Each structure stands twice: as structure tokens, then as C-alpha cells.
């Protein structure tokens, strides 16, 4: 087993502990022996609680449970029939739905290893990854001594599952289907041709991280801005500057917040923002629990993982004014979400550097300081910039948040400019444009391009030329590139790695 000695600081990863290698009973109690690089026992004092952190017996029981027949799936009973020179037919019954399928190949005489119950259970009953699990298998009407390729059995199983799922999804006259209280659209239908002129209420909303970028927003006289600052003193000054310029001010929360870090939300609350970009569940609980008169408008960020209308509706009912569509959605999936949700409550990120990953490890403190944390590192993140350079020579910015956690952003901005007219036609009214390290000039150029695009004063091609970003939506659409068919295998592998 593994144990840890409780020093009263559950967030302290340096609490002494480790795996126990030997246990000996003594007159006074028990003696525990640890490995050669075990815990610092000088930090262990009488009266400490000792917690078990690992138990091989519990691990074995969990592994056994995971390997057991999955519960919660629909039990599927199979009836198999067939004779030589005829097709094998199988009837499947599950959840009061009956379907039947037959093989393409006919049954033949088996020279060796004829079809038996074990083979049928292994091939027809292998429902892993589906909502089904095998129940009873009746092969009493299947003649003995027959042969069929294993591939035909697998194909038959797939056909049965597909037919059953189609029946399950089909409308049933005895079931009342709930529909959301908004007009339904067919996500597969072709969207109306955009007019090129957006309604006047479509907003391009910048998210900025530097004073330079805030200067650009103020210079463009945009009505609002969201501030995503890495330290609270600078954030306070930025809020004051934005207010003096007459902007509505939004503040983004941290992406990750642990127990004991609730003070970040309280400090944001004291700045009295007009809006809060909520990125984690704790912030939703905190701000939604404020008195209604003092509560800012709450916008959910992509990290709340809104990929379907049920999630969107739940979050809106929980107190959010808007939700941001998750980056996992491609264009077709986003269209389906908008069709089943009030589209004016969905914010779409039209331009951004996608966040690649977050880490507790501070690259700045590790490489530019001899300190261990924000108390002793000297805050090199306030005066230096670090990026991770990949094999293509692209620099991926590393940004620090107020909790000293690092986020690595893709060095190449991506744009959904080609989809904006269609999104507006579908009812989207808020488009967010996010910046990382862009200069004031770059920020003005990008923001003005999107502003002109939604106003219909420039074309999509004109906007693309000005924003100079990769045309890609979310993390799925456009990520596959066609290789040059003329290149050799080695060059093709190099292109794929790139």
C-alpha cells in the first residue's frame, strides 16, 4: 500500500508519504518501513493522520469490475437460423425493438471447425463500443456442420447493430418527443446565400492581454472589451483605462482554479466588471450566487465544453447570459447546435490562437529564475517572453495567468472568416476575436478587418488577406492537408510530421 502523512495542507504536494515495503508489529504499535528514497520522516510528527493512497486489493477489484460485462447496456437476444446453400439469418431483439439481417454469402459444408455456439457468441455477440450486450443466443434452427467466413459474421453483426440503432432513433407514434422552444432548422439544409451585409446588432468583441492591444481597441472606438491579464495590479489599471474610454469592461477568469484559490474570483468581483468570462465551474457558482443587483453579466467560455443544446440550455438556466461554442465542433456540428438553441445566446470565436495545453509548471520561473514560486521567482514573466519553437520554426507563445499556471498557444492564428456570413444568417450575434502577443498595429488591422467584414464593406477574401491567419474552424475543420501525389514516401512522411 501507499500512505501519506497529513500535515493539514491537502494542496501541498510535498506532504511526506510513499509506498510501504515492510510492516512490523511492535509492543508500541506498528513500524512501517519505506523505500530507500522514501518520505522525509523528519516532517512526520506524533498525532498526524495517515491516509492510504494506494491499495493493490482495491486496484485488483477495480480492474476486475472494469473487465466484467458492462451494465447499463441493452440486453440483445439473438436467434440464428440457416441451412446449407442458404443465407444465414439472425434476428436481434433489444429494448422492445426487433430487427433482422442476413449474410451476403451462403452457408457451405464445413471441412473442419464448423460453426458452433462459441464462434457465434465471439463474433455475433462482440458488441463492444455499442449500446448493446449479448443476452441469450438461440442457434437451434441453424443446421450443424456448416461453414461461413468469419468476416461474414462480423459484417452481419455490424448490419444488425446499424439496423437496431436506426429503429431506435426513428420517431415512434406512442412516444411524445420533447422539442426546444425555438424554431428548428435542418442542419443538413443549405444555408441561404448571405447578403454580405450583417444586421446592425452583430458585435465583434475583442479579448486582449496587453496594454498595447487595449490601446488599439480604444483607438478603434469599439464599445466593449474583455481583459485577460496575468497579474491583478495591471488588470486594475487596465479596467480603469477602459472605463475612462467609455468601454463596457469584461474580465476573464483563470482557466483552472483549485480549492483555496477562490480569492481570485473575489478580486475580480471587487473590480465590478460589466461582464465576466467564466472559464471554470467554481466561477459560475461564485458569480451566479451574487445578489442580482450587483451581479455582472456572465458569459461562458469554450472551456465549459458546450457541444450540444442540452449543455447550452443547462448553463443558460444556471445563470449564464451566453455560452461559447466549444472548439471541438466543426461547421456542420456548430450549425446543428445553433438550430437547436437560441443562436443569439451562442458566442462564436471567429479568430484566435488555440490554447494547446495548460500546465502547473512555470517555464519562466524554471528558466529565468532561481526561485521556486511567485514569492521568490522575481516575476520574470512581467519583463520577458518565452515561446516553444517547433520543428518548423514556429514559435508558440507561453502565457502566465494570475495563478502562475502556463498556457501554450498555437503560434499561428486561425480564422473563421469564411463562415461568418453563414453564422450571422443562422442568428449568431456575437463574434469574439482573441489576441495573444499581437502588437497594437496588428490588433487594429485584425479587428478592423472583422468589423468591416460583418458590416459588408469588404469581401471574405479581403478579410482573409488582412487578418493573415490560417483558415480553420475549431480544431477539426481544415486540419487535414492533401499531400502532393508526386512526392516520394519519405517526403510524404515528412509532410505528415509537419
pLDDT, tens digit (0-9, with 9 covering 90-100), for 67-95? 655 555 788 999 999 999 999 999 999 98
Mean pLDDT of the 468-475 span: 69
pLDDT band at 66 (very low <50, low <70, confident <90, very high): low
Mean pLDDT of the 438-448 span: 93
More confident residue, 168 or 235: 235
| Residues with Cβ within 8 Å of residue 37, at least 6 apart in sequence | none
Do the beta carbons of residue 128 and residue 88 sit within 8 Å? no
In b/e form, how buried is each residue of 362-381, taking b as 16+ CB within 10 angstroms? bbbbeebbeeeebeebebbb
E strand or H helix that includes residue 285? helix 281-288
User: What number of CA atoms fall less than 13 Å from residue 260's CA on the CB side?
Assistant: 6
Model confidence at 186: pLDDT above 50: no
Collapsing DSSP to helix, strand or coil, 56 comes out as: helix
Angle at 395 between CA 391 and CA 401, to 5 degrees: 130
Which of 334-348, 366-380, 420-434 is the least confident region? 366-380
pLDDT band at 261 (very low <50, low <70, confident <90, very high): confident
d(CA 212, CA 57): 58
Mean pLDDT of the 132-144 span: 91
DSSP 350-373: EEE--EEEEESS-HHHHHH-S-SS
Collapsing DSSP to helix, strand or coil, 464 comes out as: helix
Collapsing DSSP to helix, strand or coil, 156 comes out as: helix
pLDDT score, position 199: 53
CA dihedral 214→219→222→228, nearest 10 degrees, is 0
Residue 242 CA: distances (Å) to CA of 231, 236, 480: 17, 10, 40
Q: What is the pLDDT of residues 351-380, one digit of tens each?
A: 999 888 888 888 888 888 887 677 778 888
pLDDT score, position 231: 83
Mean pLDDT, the chain, as a whole number?
83
pLDDT score, position 69: 52
pLDDT score, position 153: 92
Do the beta carbons of residue 170 and residue 162 sit within 8 Å? no
d(CA 125, CA 127): 6
pLDDT band at 65 (very low <50, low <70, confident <90, very high): low
> Angle at which helices 263-270 and 281-288 pack, to 10 degrees?
50
Q: Which of 298-302, 363-367, 385-389 has the highest mean pLDDT?
A: 298-302
d(CA 371, CA 364): 10
Do the beta carbons of residue 450 and residue 462 sit within 8 Å? no
E strand or H helix that includes residue 90? strand 87-94
pLDDT band at 482 (very low <50, low <70, confident <90, very high): very low
Model confidence at 327: pLDDT above 60: yes
Domain 203-354+410-471, CATH number (from 3.30.70.100, 3.40.50.720, 1.10.1740.10, 3.20.20.70): 3.20.20.70
d(CA 447, CA 424): 17
d(CA 40, CA 313): 50
Return the closest-CA partner of residue 155 out of 241, 90, 60, 61: 90
DSSP letter for 250, please: E
pLDDT band at 490 (very low <50, low <70, confident <90, very high): very low
Amino acid at each position: 500500500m501507499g500512505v501519506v502523512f497529513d500535515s493539514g495542507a491537502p494542496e501541498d504536494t510535498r506532504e511526506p508519504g510513499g509506498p510501504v515495503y515492510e510492516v512490523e508489529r511492535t509492543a508500541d504499535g506498528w513500524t512501517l518501513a519505506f523505500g530507500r528514497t522514501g518520505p522525509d520522516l523528519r516532517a512526520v510528527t506524533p498525532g498526524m493522520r495517515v491516509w492510504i493512497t494506494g491499495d493493490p486489493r482495491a486496484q485488483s477489484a477495480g480492474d476486475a469490475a472494469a473487465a466484467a460485462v458492462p451494465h447499463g447496456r441493452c440486453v440483445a437476444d439473438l436467434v440464428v437460423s440457416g441451412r446449407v446453400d442458404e443465407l444465414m439469418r439472425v434476428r436481434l431483439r433489444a429494448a422492445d425493438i426487433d430487427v433482422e439481417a442476413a449474410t451476403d454469402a451462403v452457408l457451405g459444408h464445413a471441412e473442419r471447425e464448423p460453426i458452433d455456439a462459441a464462434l457465434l457468441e465471439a463474433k455475433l455477440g462482440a458488441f463492444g463500443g455499442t449500446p448493446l450486450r449479448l443476452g441469450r443466443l438461440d442457434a437451434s434452427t441453424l443446421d450443424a456442420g456448416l461453414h461461413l467466413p468469419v468476416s461474414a459474421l462480423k459484417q452481419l453483426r455490424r448490419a444488425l447493430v446499424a439496423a437496431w440503432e436506426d429503429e431506435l432513433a426513428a420517431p415512434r407514434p406512442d412516444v411524445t418527443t420533447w422539442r426546444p422552444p425555438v424554431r428548428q432548422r435542418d442542419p443538413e439544409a443549405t444555408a441561404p446565400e448571405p447578403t454580405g451585409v450583417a444586421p446592425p446588432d452583430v458585435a465583434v468583441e475583442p479579448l486582449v492581454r496587453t496594454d498595447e492591444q487595449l490601446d488599439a481597441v480604444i483607438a478603434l472606438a469599439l464599445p466593449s472589451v474583455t481583459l485577460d491579464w496575468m497579474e491583478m495590479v495591471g488588470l486594475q489599471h487596465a479596467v480603469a483605462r477602459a472605463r475612462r474610454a467609455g468601454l463596457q469592461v469584461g474580465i476573464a477568469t483563470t482557466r483552472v482554479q483549485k480549492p483555496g484559490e477562490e480569492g481570485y474570483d473575489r478580486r475580480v468581483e471587487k473590480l465590478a466588471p460589466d461582464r465576466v468570462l467564466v472559464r471554470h465551474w467554481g466561477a459560475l457558482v461564485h458569480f451566479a450566487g451574487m445578489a442580482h443587483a450587483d451581479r455582472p453579466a456572465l458569459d461562458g467560455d469554450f472551456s465549459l465544453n458546450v457541444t450540444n443544446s442540452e449543455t447550452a440550455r443547462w448553463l443558460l438556466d444556471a445563470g449564464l447570459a451566453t455560452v461559447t461554442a466549444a472548439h471541438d465542433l466543426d461547421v456542420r456540428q456548430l450549425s446543428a447546435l445553433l438550430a437547436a438553441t437560441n443562436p443569439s445566446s451562442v458566442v462564436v470565436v471567429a479568430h484566435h490562437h488555440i490554447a494547446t495545453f495548460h500546465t502547473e509548471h512555470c517555464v519562466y520561473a524554471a528558466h529565468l529564475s532561481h526561485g521556486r514560486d511567485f514569492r521568490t521567482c522575481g516575476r520574470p514573466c512581467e519583463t520577458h517572453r518565452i515561446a516553444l519553437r517547433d520543428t518548423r520554426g514556429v514559435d508558440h507563445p507561453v502565457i502566465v495567468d494570475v495563478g502562475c499556471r502556463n498556457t501554450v498557444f498555437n503560434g499561428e492564428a486561425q480564422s473563421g472568416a469564411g463562415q461568418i456570413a453563414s453564422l450571422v444568417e443562422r442568428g449568431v450575434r456575437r463574434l469574439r476575436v482573441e489576441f495573444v502577443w499581437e502588437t497594437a498595429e496588428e490588433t487594429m488591422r485584425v479587428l478592423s478587418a472583422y468589423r468591416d467584414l460583418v458590416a459588408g464593406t469588404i469581401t471574405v477574401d479581403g478579410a482573409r488577406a488582412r487578418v493573415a491567419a490560417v483558415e480553420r474552424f475549431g480544431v477539426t475543420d481544415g486540419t487535414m492537408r492533401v499531400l502532393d501525389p508526386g512526392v516520394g514516401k519519405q517526403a510524404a512522411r515528412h509532410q505528415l510530421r509537419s
